[in-house]
Amino acid sequence: MLQKIKKIDFVIVAVLVMLMIISITSIYSVTKGDVKFDGSHVKMILYYIVGFIAFFGMSLLDFRFLMKYAWYIYFGGLALLLFVMFFGATINGSQGWISLGFASLQPAEMFKLVLIIILTYALVRKNKPRLSFIQDVIPVGLLAFIPFVLVMGINDLGNALSYVIILLGLLWIGNVKFSHALIGLVLVGGIAVGGAMAYVHYHDEIKESLGTGSRAHWMERIDPWLVPEKATAKASWHTHNAKLAIASGGMGGKGFMEGTSVQSGRVPYTYSDSIFVQIAEEYGFIGSSVLLLLYFVLIHRMILISLECRERAGPFLIVGIISMFLYQIFENIGMFIGLMPLTGITLPFISFGGTSLVISMASMGVAMSVKLHGREIDEDLPEPSTHRTVAKQS
């Protein structure tokens, strides 16, 4: 075990520690003195302790163990999603939480890592130089489609979309045929553009159809992005004030606990989903750039690990994890500068939340496990068909 610990990438550990410091200080800044959330930074410290335990635990666990039990992990994750559909607690319009009294679990957040594991297992087992659409892409896509439907059923659009991004990232590294990728890109692009145009043109009809049901709040998130002129003052309040706060931060920010918008409550959820607004207003462009640089270093180190891995499942796992983080970072920051619609996506390692943080840390642990164990060839998995062909010819 000592030899494994010595091989840990301590650059990644250092980046995680720096992200922890940013997270805890930012949460402290916006919750100090708040009647409801004062002390949240202490909870975040406890979450980080659990997170680092998960990180080092997953690092020392051979990632091929996850491959052997991938189906059990997958069906266990689906069982949790089904449970919250019928018995889950509702928070912020999403019935996606399991209350444990002392804490709450969000299975949709946990399932992102589950999906990465099962898709990696399925694609590695396909063992083909090119993926066939009927035999490979559709079956693998169904593995992501089932939880996508379940999570959409509990009104969690942000996490549901993350499943799609993870699927696309893994299909890409799985060598989907270029023609299939091109057709898929055209179809997805066409559906996205056509859907946006239809939403704008039939806005009033869609609003009337949704009424005041559980999905009506989707329009409040999409309207400020696509049709700001038709968005209500309530719907625009969050994103409008977030943009003003980010712009007011300037180059160096207003200073720790000095952000007028985030400290006055004009921007909601500054301790969780909107925490980037706090960073931008109080630390400015420089502080925001430092945060993005830390993310870049983290992703760069994972790419290096995948390039050094000799075992086929390792790069798949890392590409899935990178896809998950890139989507969360782009969506979370993008929704406050007008690039993306408003969704309940956390900023990795920064936003307050136990489930999100622990899953992110566990995911980094899986990536580290690839570094520690990825140079050992797995004898249980079949060799690539190209290798067998060469062997036969020789």
Whole-number Cα distances in Å, 269 to 152, 159, 194, 248, 273 = 22, 18, 32, 18, 6
> Which pLDDT does position 184 carry in this prediction?
78
Whole-number Cα distances in Å, 369 to 54, 74, 86, 112, 200 = 12, 20, 36, 18, 47
> Which pLDDT does position 221 carry in this prediction?
79
Please state the rounded mean pLDDT for residues 125-149: 87
> Which pLDDT does position 214 carry in this prediction?
58
User: Minimal CA–CA distance to 313: which of 118, 140, 60?
Assistant: 118
Please state the rounded mean pLDDT for residues 46-50: 96
- Asked whether the beta carbons of 130 and 83 are under 8 A apart, the reply is no
For the chain, give the mean pLDDT.
87
Find the range with the poorest average confidence among 1-15, 41-55, 179-193, 324-338: 179-193
Distance between first and last Cα of the chain: 40
Sign of CA dihedral 361, 367, 368, 372: positive
Residue-wise pLDDT for 298-311, tens only, equals 999 999 999 988 88
> Which pLDDT does position 154 carry in this prediction?
86
What does the radius of gyration of the chain's CA atoms come to, in whole angstroms?
A: 22
> Which pLDDT does position 237 carry in this prediction?
87
Q: Which residue has the higher pLDDT, 392 or 122?
A: 122
Q: How far apart are CA 306 and CA 135, in angstroms?
A: 27
Distance from chain centroid for Cα 383: 32
Residue-wise pLDDT for 183-241, tens only, equals 878 888 898 889 888 888 887 887 777 666 656 677 777 888 888 887 777 778 888 89
Residue-wise pLDDT for 72-92, tens only, equals 999 999 999 999 988 888 776
Q: Which residue has the higher pLDDT, 136 or 280?
A: 280
> Which pLDDT does position 246 carry in this prediction?
95
Sheet holding 104-105, edge to edge: 89-91, 94-99, 104-105
Q: How far apart are CA 248 and CA 244, in angstroms?
A: 6
Per DSSP, what are the bridge partners of residue 99? Answer: 104
Q: Which residue has the higher pLDDT, 293 or 187?
A: 293
Residue-wise pLDDT for 95-135, tens only, equals 788 888 777 889 999 999 999 999 999 999 887 778 888 88
Axis crossing angle, helix 107-126 with helix 70-87, rounded to the nearest 10: 150
Please state the rounded mean pLDDT for residues 12-25: 97
- Asked whether the beta carbons of 149 and 142 are under 8 A apart, the reply is no
**286 CB contacts (<8 Å, ≥6 apart)?**
251, 252, 253
- Given a cut of 90, whether residue 371 has pLDDT beyond it is yes
Q: How many CB atoms lie within 10 A of CB 373?
A: 21
> How is 167-236 classified by DSSP, letter by letter?
HHHHHHHTTB-HHHHHHHHHHHHHHHHHHHHHHHHTHHHHHHHHTTSTTTHHHHHHHHHH-TTTS-HHHH
The model's confidence at residue 390, banded by pLDDT at 50, 70 and 90, is very low
Q: How far apart are CA 228 and CA 207, in angstroms?
A: 15
- Percent of the chain residues topping a pLDDT of 70: 92
> Which pLDDT does position 377 carry in this prediction?
54
> Which pLDDT does position 211 carry in this prediction?
64
- Asked whether the beta carbons of 19 and 294 are under 8 A apart, the reply is yes
Find the range with the poorest average confidence among 67-81, 131-145, 170-184, 253-267: 170-184
Q: How far apart are CA 307 and CA 57, in angstroms?
A: 23
> Which pLDDT does position 383 carry in this prediction?
46
